[in-house]
């Protein structure tokens, strides 16, 4: 019998949470970003102490973690595929609508693009369009590990979703939903048609609501407000995983991801205004020695490009090729 629950083992790798002010991240009128100073030694120590209990232990078939350096990891960002309200051109925000058929196809296509990049843990928003995207993408993955959503909404939910086989756990990828990664709350615009709203309030006003940095829509969040919660979550919960050498995928939304990219790429509030993300296109970053290096959108699985990004990915591919008959019969 396993001694650690699926949920416990994931949580055990997380760093103690710190507030936005504690971690030195500051958004002011001049928008200076000071990256959170992570205590790498402490995180590394925590990771190694809890490793024996974790579900993310090395596969018996491919010793993935033997290829990992603790200070290097891949970060994949995916905006969800087209939703039913994207299709209808409605402001969506935190309304929980599913993908269209096209969105499903986009998610599958995104999965093909990243199918050779090992993923240790997935973060999604709490909204179904991001979760559908993550799940559909992962069923394309070459390793065929099973993405499993962690439920921590109650003690009972945690207890009732335990997995009791280490082997099964090793063949799983934890999926952690977080409301902080949700789309920005669009206030009283949610459910309104974007075109009709522009005709009613004027194009300029609607453009300011949609793309300015610090002007919120009526009773909604500005990008700045969305960035405060999304980036704080990223720093407190996702960066420690990357620092421990875990490859992370985030499936989220246009504006929560714009906020995170603003932080990763150190964009100014002027620069982020013109940043637009396509639905279902994965973006790859390499986290190394505390820095994020943008690697663009991975190409399809038949092309070699993605493996050139790090030596470790190249080694992983070689190992995958060697063992592919065992893993993917």
Ligand X SMILES: O=C(O)[C@@H](CO)OP(=O)(O)O
Of 183, 221, 224, 239, which residue is the catalytic one?
183
- Which structure tokens are listed for 86? 């994207």
How many angstroms separate the CA atoms of 115 and 248, rounded? 13
217 contacts ligand X (rule: CB under 6 A):
no
List strands edge to edge, sheet with 121-124. Answer: 146-149, 172-177, 121-124, 248-252, 72-79, 282-288, 291-294
For the bound state, the minimum distance from the C-beta of residue 198 to ligand X, rounded and expressed in Å, comes to 11
Buried b (16+ CB within 10 A) or exposed e, 142-181: bbebbbbebeeeeeeebeeeebeeeeebbbbbbbbbbebb
Residue 202 assigned to a binding site: no
- When binding is defined by CB under 6 A, the residue of 36, 141, 169, 210 that contacts ligand X is 210
**92 near ligand X, rule: CB under 6 A:** yes
Return the structure tokens found at 30. 């001049």
Query: Active site includes 188?
Result: no
Q: Is 79 in the site for ligand X (CB under 6 A)?
A: no
Q: Which range of residues in 16-24, 49-57, 91-99, 301-309 is near ligand X by CB under 6 A?
A: 91-99
In 12-152, alpha helices (H): 40-50, 84-87, 101-113, 128-138
129 is in an annotated binding site: yes
Report if residue 259 touches ligand X, rule: CB under 6 A. no
User: DSSP of 278-305, one letter per residue?
Assistant: -TT-EEEEEEETTEEEE------TTSSG
Which part of the chain contacts ligand X (CB under 6 A), choosing from 89-97, 122-130, 153-161, 291-299? Answer: 89-97
How far is the C-alpha of 325 from the C-alpha of 317, rounded, in Å?
14
Pick one of 186, 234, 263, 285: the residue that binds ligand X (CB under 6 A): 186
Task: State yes or no: residue 255 binds ligand X (CB under 6 A).
Answer: yes
Which one of the listed residues 7, 72, 80, 253 is annotated catalytic?
A: 80
Tell me whether residue 317 is annotated as binding. no
80 flagged as catalytic: yes
Number of neighbours of residue 222 by Cβ within 10 angstroms = 18
52 annotated as ligand-binding: no
Closest residue by Cα to residue 176 from 18, 4, 14, 47 = 14
Q: Which is nearer to ligand X, 165 or 195 (CB)?
A: 195
- Chain residues binding ligand X by CB under 6 A are 86, 91-93, 183, 186, 210, 254-255
Residues acting as catalytic residues:
80, 183
Q: Which residues are annotated as a binding site for substrate?
A: 79-86, 92-93, 129, 183-186, 194, 210-211, 254-255
């Amino acid at each position: 019998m396993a001694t650690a629950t699926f949920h416990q083992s994931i949580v055990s790798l997380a760093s103690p949470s710190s507030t936005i002010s504690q971690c030195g991240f500051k958004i002011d009128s001049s928008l200076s970003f000071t990256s959170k100073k992570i205590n790498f030694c402490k995180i590394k120590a925590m990771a190694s102490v809890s490793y024996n209990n974790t579900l993310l232990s090395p596969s018996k078939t491919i010793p993935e973690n033997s290829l990992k350096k603790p200070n290097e990891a891949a970060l994949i960002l995916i905006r969800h595929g087209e939703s039913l309200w994207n299709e209808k051109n409605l402001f969506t925000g935190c309304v929980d609508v599913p993908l269209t058929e096209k969105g499903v196809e986009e998610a599958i296509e995104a999965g093909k693009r990243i199918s050779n990049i090992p993923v240790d843990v997935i973060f999604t928003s709490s909204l179904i369009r991001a979760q559908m995207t993550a799940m559909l993408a992962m069923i394309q993955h070459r390793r065929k590990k099973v993405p499993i959503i962690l439920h921590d909404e109650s003690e009972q939910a945690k207890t009732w979703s335990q997995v009791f086989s280490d082997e099964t756990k090793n063949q799983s990828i934890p999926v952690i939903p977080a409301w902080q990664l949700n789309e920005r709350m669009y206030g009283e615009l949610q459910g309104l048609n974007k075109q009709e709203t522009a005709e009613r309030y004027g194009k300029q006003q609607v453009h300011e609501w949609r793309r300015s940095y610090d002007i919120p829509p009526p009773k909604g969040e500005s990008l700045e407000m969305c960035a405060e919660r999304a980036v704080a979550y990223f720093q407190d919960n996702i960066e420690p995983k990357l620092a421990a050498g875990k490859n992370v995928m985030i499936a989220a939304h246009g504006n929560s991801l714009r906020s995170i990219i603003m932080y990763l790429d150190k964009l100014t509030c002027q620069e982020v205004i013109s940043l637009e993300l396509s639905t279902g296109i994965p973006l790859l970053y390499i986290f190394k020695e505390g820095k994020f290096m943008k690697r663009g959108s991975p190409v399809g699985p038949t092309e070699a490009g993605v493996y050139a990004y790090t030596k470790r990915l190249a080694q992983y591919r070689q190992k995958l090729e060697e063992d592919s008959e065992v893993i993917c019969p």
